[in-house]
């Protein structure tokens, strides 16, 4: 990067024709889908369209505004754009539900094709937490704690690839965990909550390392400025604080969102309606009540989150253990 003075907030905007073309085509396709839903008699929620518009607006700000110019010379500003690209913009894209829109606007045949793609074993693996969480962690660690940032300052194509990787990795993480988008998965709320909780780890790790490292990992940021802004190490430390507090703060908001969805799902469960049992719920039930997926030895199944059922099952478990212990003592 050529050394330069401080950019002007109002005038220093950049052009990204390829990204503009992608956004225009994607937005046109989205609006066509919304119109088709309207003609078919199903009103597409305005909140989803607003989420899509917000994602496109934030993408323009991130890639073209003076913030993008500052991000080439300040590590801490680059970190803000990172958080927008990997968390905020993907969240808005998931809330916009373009996959569900494609299903509802393309008729039975088109919906079947979309469903087939989303439920294919390869797609399900790529969008599963078993894949998306390690990818999310690898992206954050690999682009911050290695020589990636320095290399990016020397090669423009790396910056473009970084933008794509950030949006895709964030989208894959949030697709099955946030909102009601069709993802080919039906994760229980506990699994969604734990997935996001684990994903907080890389944010914290990267933030702390950048705050405590005593040498600049990407000196190109400081070298690109003509004496303005903080020195390279202070700039890096500020970037680490933004990642730690900003990244964890955003993740906490997502955890609150999932917790709210979890509470609403339990509140609106109809009387007598069985809870959907995920593998995590089943393991918790087996460990607590010693019952399998089909219930206990008598064929009874229990909802361990229901007070009466849990108490009765737990007392039965204690009685069985007590009887077994008594029989063992009698034989001795």
Please tell me whether residue 295 adopts helix, strand or coil conformation: strand
CB contact set of 178 (below 8 Å; sequence gap of 6+): 91, 94, 95, 192, 254, 257, 258
pLDDT at residue 299, rounded to an integer: 46
- The whole-model pTM stands at 0.79
CB 158 within 8 A of CB 220: no
pLDDT at residue 261, rounded to an integer: 86
In order along its 332 residues, the chain shows pLDDT tens digits of 566 667 777 777 888 999 999 999 999 999 999 999 888 777 899 999 999 999 999 999 999 988 888 888 889 999 999 999 999 999 999 999 999 999 999 888 999 999 999 999 999 999 999 999 999 999 999 999 988 888 887 777 788 889 999 999 999 999 999 978 999 888 888 999 999 999 999 999 999 999 999 898 888 888 878 778 788 899 999 999 999 999 999 999 999 999 988 888 777 666 555 555 555 555 555 555 555 444 444 444 445 455 555 566 667 766 777 776 666 666 65
10 Å CB burial of residue 63 (0-12, 13-18, 19+) is buried
pLDDT at residue 56, rounded to an integer: 97
Residue whose tokens read 């007590």:
322
pLDDT at residue 176, rounded to an integer: 94
pLDDT at residue 297, rounded to an integer: 44
pLDDT at residue 330, rounded to an integer: 63
Q: Which residue, among 66, 177, 162, has the nearest Cα to 128 in the 3D structure?
A: 177
């Amino acid at each position: 990067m050529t050394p330069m003075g401080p950019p002007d907030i109002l005038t220093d905007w950049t052009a990204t024709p390829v990204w503009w073309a992608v956004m225009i085509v994607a937005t046109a396709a989205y609006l066509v889908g919304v119109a088709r839903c309207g003609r078919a008699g199903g009103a597409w929620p305005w909140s989803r369209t607003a989420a899509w518009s917000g994602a496109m607006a934030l993408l323009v700000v991130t890639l073209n505004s003076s913030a993008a110019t500052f991000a080439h010379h300040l590590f801490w500003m680059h970190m803000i754009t990172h958080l927008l690209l990997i968390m905020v913009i993907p969240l808005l894209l998931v809330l916009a539900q373009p996959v569900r829109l494609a299903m509802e606007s393309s008729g039975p045949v088109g919906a079947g094709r979309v469903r087939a793609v989303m439920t294919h074993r390869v797609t399900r693996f790529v969008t599963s937490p078993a894949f998306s969480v390690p990818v999310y962690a690898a992206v954050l660690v690999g682009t911050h704690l290695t020589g990636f940032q320095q290399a990016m300052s020397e090669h423009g194509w790396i910056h473009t690839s970084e933008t794509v990787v950030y949006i895709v990795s964030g989208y894959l993480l949030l697709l099955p965990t946030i909102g009601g988008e069709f993802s080919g998965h039906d994760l229980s709320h506990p699994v969604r909550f734990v997935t996001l909780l684990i994903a907080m780890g890389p944010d914290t790790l990267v933030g702390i390392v950048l705050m405590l490292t005593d040498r600049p990992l990407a000196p190109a940021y400081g070298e690109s400025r003509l004496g303005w802004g903080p020195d390279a190490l202070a700039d890096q430390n500020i970037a680490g604080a933004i990642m730690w507090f900003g990244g964890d703060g955003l993740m906490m908001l997502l955890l609150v969102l999932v917790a709210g969805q979890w509470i609403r799902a339990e509140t609106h469960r109809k009387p007598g309606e069985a809870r959907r049992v995920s593998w995590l719920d089943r393991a918790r039930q087996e460990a607590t009540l010693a019952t399998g997926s089909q219930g206990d030895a008598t064929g009874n199944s229990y909802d361990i989150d229901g007070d009466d059922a849990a108490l009765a099952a737990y007392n039965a478990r204690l009685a069985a253990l007590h009887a077994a212990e008594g029989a063992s003592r009698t034989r001795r």
